[in-house]
Amino acid sequence: MKQPDAGPPPVLALKDVSKSFGAVRALQDVSLQLYPGEAHALAGENGAGKSTLIKTLAGVHRPDTGQVLLDGATVEFHGPADARDAGIAVIYQEPTLFPDLSIAENIFMGRQPRRSLGRIDRRAVHAATAALMARLGVDLDPGRPARGLSIADQQIVEIAKALSFDARVLIMDEPTAALTGGETARLFSVVEALRAEGAAVLFISHRLEEIFRLCQRVTTLRDGRWISSEPLDGLSEDDLVRRMVGRDLDELYPKQQARIGDTALSVRRLTREGVFRDVSFDVRRGEIVALAGLVGAGRSEVVQAVFGVDRFDAGEVHVDGRALPAGSPTAAMDAGIALVPEDRRQRGLVMDMSIERNIGLTGLGRLGRGGLVRRSLERGRAADWAVRLQLKYNRLSDSVGVLSGGNQQKVVLAKWLATEPSVLIVDEPTRGIDVGTKAEVHRLLSGLAAEGLAVLMVSSDLPEVLGMADRVLVMHEGRLVAEIPRAEATEETVMAAATGRTAEEKAA
């Protein structure tokens, strides 16, 4: 399934590129061709080599062997500035703008047009920025400060910055991970406009439906090796998954049958002024309950209040009939609640600590005496959970930061499951992880529910909600507006409730 030779030459290509870091071979004889006017997907599990490939194209890494070709000629990038000057721009998942500077100042930082005596021509900067926004079909004020912009608007600013450098190749690394459906649609319309102008786009996403929606071709990597480059037309999601993981996934949403038991978590009229109000629900043993809704509906804020990270102003939280005080994570943990947060890097892990130390953080009292931790107990606990969750690592003493995103998520799960909770709250449990690891996490959650654990899951992934939940609770603008049994939950019923549509509007 090699790239065809017919047609226009690629604007940017890799030919038989290999790159190693010590004994780890990140890329091995990988080839890739990016063509003008085409959106090309890069697919693969965490650890497949996607990040190394991107950094090679962007001039961050230099290949050990092989060639980087620009318009058919071999080039050597000695740093990101060389790649940028060649017209290659990377848009990362989390943009890095100067928050106290305006949009225009961020775009033209260090190269503002000058007037006489070297003064910055602010009018020209604003006019050039306005022209870029018009070209992208986006209405953003050039003078608006970057602070307070949504992630979607920040990415638009980064794209505008790339266009100001006359970028011919746009590399987009997980650009939609933190976006709503509407923001994703706007981003895709911008990409389509750039394609129409002849730009080549390399798109990386773990969301297969986005790859099929936006891209024309896909290159798949597995364990640092090139597997295929082929048109998406005629390819199914199952075909792509098979190339990515090297096997058929038995089931992406392996929902096990579980006996539904007594109520483990009861929330009554929970209110936090200005954030959410009058939220009531129950989660029973053996049940997976999904908390769905659009970004900003208040889902994460509710579970953080239940766990005690944030104080609530009114209402009650009971675990096994025992009332919990507001604003006390310690009390929540003692009662048997565990919370796997949405942001695993900032709130779930200590990135500079080892794998074993991260797993042991929630059980320090059990791993030692007199304030001293017994390393043998800590390591044994970590090794046990590493086996149970099929963690991929080199040494347990390695920093958790060297793990892939999917394996980092497994460490967070191990840390909390080691507390033997009766209620497990997971906020976006599979965000930013590959499809193979996603299936493993789903299998784990389903198995835990079958063993009698009560699971409350916050997810923006609608297929995940429909595939895993026994009941779907839908929030809209801080209120719980619908409770939908599994048999009645569809994309239409969930989205209708999430967007606040009335019964009459749904019927129409």
Q: Which amino acid is at 342?
A: E
Q: Does residue 44 surpass a pLDDT of 60?
A: yes
Span 205-215, average pLDDT: 89
pLDDT digits (tens, 9 = 90+) for 312-346: 999 999 999 999 999 999 999 999 999 998 888 77
Cα gap 94→176, rounded to integer Å: 10
Q: Give SS3 for 64.
A: coil
pLDDT at site 7? 60
pLDDT at site 97? 87
Instruction: Find out whether 94 and 86 touch, Cβ atoms under 8 Å.
Output: no
Count of CB atoms situated within 10 Å of the CB of 154? 20
Residue 392, both tokens = 């991929």
pLDDT at site 213? 92
Q: Does residue 373 surpass a pLDDT of 70?
A: no
35 pLDDT band, cuts 50/70/90, is: very high
Q: Across-strand partners of 204?
A: 42, 173
* φ, ψ of residue 286 in degrees (nearest 5): 85, 5
Which region, left, alpha or beta, applies to residue 91 given φ > 0 means left and ψ of -120 to 50 means alpha? beta
pLDDT digits (tens, 9 = 90+) for 279-319: 999 999 999 999 998 877 899 999 999 999 999 999 999 99
Q: Give SS3 for 57.
A: helix
Q: Can you say how many angstroms the Cα of residue 407 is from the centroid of all Cα atoms in its chain?
A: 14
Q: Give SS3 for 92.
A: coil
Q: Does residue 420 surpass a pLDDT of 60?
A: yes
Q: Which of 220, 270, 299, 252 is nearest to 31 (CA)?
A: 220
pLDDT at site 474? 95
Where in 259-350 does DSSP place strands (E)? 263-272, 276-284, 288-293, 314-319, 322-323, 337-340
Residue 369, both tokens = 């005496």
DSSP 8-class letter at 346: I
Cα gap 174→92, rounded to integer Å: 7
Q: What is the pTM of this model?
A: 0.68
Q: Give SS3 for 417.
A: helix
1 pLDDT band, cuts 50/70/90, is: very low
Q: Does residue 105 surpass a pLDDT of 60?
A: yes
Domains belonging to the chain, first-starting first, are 12-97+149-245 (3.40.50.300), 263-507 (3.40.50.300)
Residues in CB range of 369: below 8 A, 6 or more apart: none
pLDDT at site 257? 86
Span 386-412, average pLDDT: 85
504 pLDDT band, cuts 50/70/90, is: very low
pLDDT digits (tens, 9 = 90+) for 454-466: 999 999 888 899 9
pLDDT at site 491? 86
pLDDT at site 115? 78
pLDDT at site 179? 67
Instruction: Find out whether 184 and 176 touch, Cβ atoms under 8 Å.
Output: yes
The region of weakest confidence among 270-279, 359-368, 477-486 is 359-368
The region of weakest confidence among 58-67, 73-82, 268-277, 399-408 is 399-408
Bridge-based pairing of strands 276-284 and 65-70 is unpaired
Strands of the 337-340 sheet, one edge to the other: 337-340, 423-427, 454-458, 288-293, 471-476, 479-485
The region of weakest confidence among 12-26, 73-87, 263-277, 352-366 is 352-366
pLDDT at site 4? 45
Q: What is the average pLDDT value for the chain, to the nearest integer?
A: 87
Count of CB atoms situated within 10 Å of the CB of 210? 17
Cα gap 38→196, rounded to integer Å: 9
Torsion sign (Cα): 380, 384, 389, 392:
positive
Span 85-107, average pLDDT: 87
Q: Which of 439, 496, 504 is nearest to 467 (CA)?
A: 439
Q: Does residue 34 surpass a pLDDT of 70?
A: yes
Cα gap 36→70, rounded to integer Å: 12
